[in-house]
Amino acid sequence: MQRLLIGLSSWIIQDGNYPDFHVGREYRFALEFYPHEVTSVASDGRRRDLTSLGDALYEVRGVVVFQSPEAWVADFGVPAYREETPPQFAVVSAAVSGRVYLGVDPFFYFERLSFVPGMPDLYRTWSVHRIHHETTPWIEATDINGRPSKARDESRRQYEEVAATDAFSDPFGHYLLECELRTPGAV
């Protein structure tokens, strides 16, 4: 399998859900996806694939393998969940495509969703080959309520390669884990 860039925010480690990640080690976690323009498509033999667009963003094609009132799971070659009321098209066996951000499960899966009846086992073992720490400068911005805030300057996105995450020294940090799937599993 190809290496994947998987997003990780510092707060996930700060909450005590995982230790700091280190290059050369293996970790077991589920993947969460954040949809960007995901829709249903005509089925074409249950095709599953991920094409990297950079920064843990992927062009995906997959199949919905689980759906409940609180979450749904799609298999894009690797399974990932979304904790939300599923959109109408997200029914089991439906083919889907679009763009998604893949991230390390913050805690939704291991604390709650893994216990939902019928939920597939999404845990996989990943080998971390490289870690990229986001160093994109912060700029003044406005939040959705019109209040002043800070945001990353998307026009100047940059990363530095590090040997390990250091979540407690960077409270708003973001990392990309360059990982290889060690245990494929079945969905």
Strand partners, 100: 35, 58
Distance CA 61, CA 41 (A): 9
What's the pTM?
0.91
For residue 125, what are the CA distances in angstroms to 33, 97, 103, 153?
17, 25, 14, 33
Q: In this structure, are strands 79-82 and 72-75 parallel, antiparallel, or unpaired?
A: antiparallel
**Residues 173, 7: Cα–Cα separation, whole Å:** 11
Residue 98 falls within a domain, yes or no? yes
The pLDDT tens digits for 130-142 are 999 999 999 999 9
Lookup: tokens for 160:
């530095």
What is Dmax (Cα atoms) for the chain?
Answer: 49
**Each residue's pLDDT tens digit, 73-87:** 999 999 999 999 999
187 lies in some domain? no
pLDDT score at 183: 76
Q: Is 186 part of a structural domain of the chain?
A: no
Confirm whether 33 is domain-assigned. Answer: yes
Instruction: Tell me whether residue 106 is in a domain.
Output: yes
* pLDDT in the model for residue 2: 74
Number of structural domains (the chain) is 1
The answer to whether 75 and 46 are in contact (CB under 8 A) is: no
pLDDT of residue 47: 77
H/E stretch holding 27 reads: strand 26-29
Residues in Cβ contact with 21 at an 8 Å cutoff, skipping those fewer than 6 apart: 8, 13, 27, 128, 131, 164, 165, 175, 177
Residue ranges of the chain whose pLDDT lies below 70: 1, 44-45, 185-187
CA–CA gap between residue 102 and residue 99 (Å, rounded):
10
| Cα end-to-end span (Å), the chain | 16
CA distance 128 to 152: 25
CB atoms within 10 A of CB 176: 21
Using the structure block, give the residue that is written with the tokens 């893949």: 102
Domain around 161: 4-181
